[in-house]
């Protein structure tokens, strides 16, 4: 029975890559291999596993979701990883993106604000035997200064601007992917740090949950600005909610098999 189920998930994963990923123009062989290898269904609740390979995000609790497969593939390809890089991820969430990155880079450092996500992430990371991922609980807008500089940074939440600490922690020649805009709509931007300055290239329109923190959005009803001495950093939200790409990525407002958030 288990073998039969595994075969069904493998077939669904192959179909996902062929139709949703290759069919939309993703061509990096290493990215395709990673999405074909990693068992996405293990990163969601058992009751939702049959939906894991659908063309949509899936809720994981706390108002967060595991990103749509195409978004994971698009962002992973846009980072242009070769296997030697040290990558910082802001927003661990389900850990699906972190594991995909672990297939593509030498080391992955991931920052998450929700403790329960971290404990679940470690369970799946250990189960899949990944030893090149490290996770910490913190305000992601501060990055991970002790491990800087990074070859690449990926931010899975929308921010009003590029957080200064993240820019500071990016290596010269490094690249960052971050959604920039308002709470309700952003553009995924590719930021490249050069010796002469910063080069920013807009990629695709998108809609991510807001990046909450000192250098991101203030929590609803809270004042923004630096923390008082000894204060606890504001939280950082994570995980893509949906993309606004017309004809390519289904919005969560459209009919789909995705259930409402709990």
Residue 239 has pLDDT above 80, yes or no: no
Please name the CATH architecture into which domain 2-220+233-243 falls.
3-Layer(aba) Sandwich (3.40)
Q: Please tell me the distance from the alpha carbon of residue 174 to that of residue 150, in angstroms, as a whole number.
A: 7
Give residue 232's pLDDT: 28
Write down the domain spans for the chain.
2-220+233-243
pLDDT, tens digit (0-9, with 9 covering 90-100), for 98-119 = 999 999 999 999 999 999 999 9
Per DSSP, which regions of 83-127 are E strands?
86-90, 107-112
Residue 122 has pLDDT above 90, yes or no: yes
| 67 catalytic per annotation | yes
State the chain's mean pLDDT as an integer: 85
Give CA–CA dist 212/248, Å, rounded.
28
Which residues, other chains included, contact 185 with Cβ-Cβ below 8 Å and sequence gap of 6+?
Answer: 205, 207, 244
Q: Is the pLDDT of residue 88 over 50?
A: yes
8 Å CB contact between 92 and 111: yes
Q: What is the pLDDT of residues 156-186, one digit of tens each?
A: 999 999 999 999 999 999 999 999 999 889 9
pLDDT digits (tens, 9 = 90+) for 198-234: 999 999 999 888 898 999 999 874 533 333 222 222 2
pLDDT higher at 261 or 99? 99
Tokens of 112: 């998450």
Q: Which helix (H) or strand (E) holds 117?
A: helix 115-127
pTM of the model: 0.83
Spot the catalytic one: 65, 67, 94, 159: 67
Beta bridge partners of 182: 185
Q: Write the DSSP string, 72-89.
A: HHHHHHHTT--S--EEEE
How many CA atoms within 13 Å lie on the side-chain side of 240? Answer: 32
């Amino acid at each position: 029975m288990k073998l039969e189920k595994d075969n069904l998930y493998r077939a669904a994963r192959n179909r996902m890559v062929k139709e949703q990923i290759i069919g939309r123009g993703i061509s990096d062989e290493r990215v395709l291999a990673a999405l074909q290898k990693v068992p996405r269904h293990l990163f969601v609740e058992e009751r939702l596993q049959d939906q894991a390979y659908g063309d949509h995000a899936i809720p994981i609790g706390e108002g967060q979701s595991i990103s749509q497969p195409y978004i994971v593939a698009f962002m992973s390809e846009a980072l242009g990883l070769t296997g030697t890089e040290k990558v910082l991820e802001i927003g661990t969430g389900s850990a699906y993106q972190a594991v995909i990155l672990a297939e593509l880079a030498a080391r992955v450092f991931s920052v998450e604000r929700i403790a329960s996500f971290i404990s679940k992430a470690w369970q799946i990371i250990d189960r899949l035997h990944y030893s090149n991922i490290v996770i910490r609980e913190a305000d992601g807008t501060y990055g991970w200064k002790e491990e800087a500089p990074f070859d690449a940074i990926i931010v899975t939440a929308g921010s009003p601007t590029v957080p200064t600490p993240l820019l500071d922690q990016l290596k010269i020649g490094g690249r960052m992917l971050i959604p920039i805009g308002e709470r309700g709509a952003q553009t995924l931007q590719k930021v490249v740090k050069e010796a002469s300055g910063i080069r920013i290239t807009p990629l695709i329109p998108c809609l991510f949950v807001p990046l909450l923190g000192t250098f991101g959005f203030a929590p609803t009803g809270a004042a923004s600005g630096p923390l008082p001495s000894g204060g606890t950093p504001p939280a950082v939200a994570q995980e893509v909610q949906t993309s606004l790409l017309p004809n390519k990525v289904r919005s969560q407002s459209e009919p789909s098999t995705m259930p409402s958030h709990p």
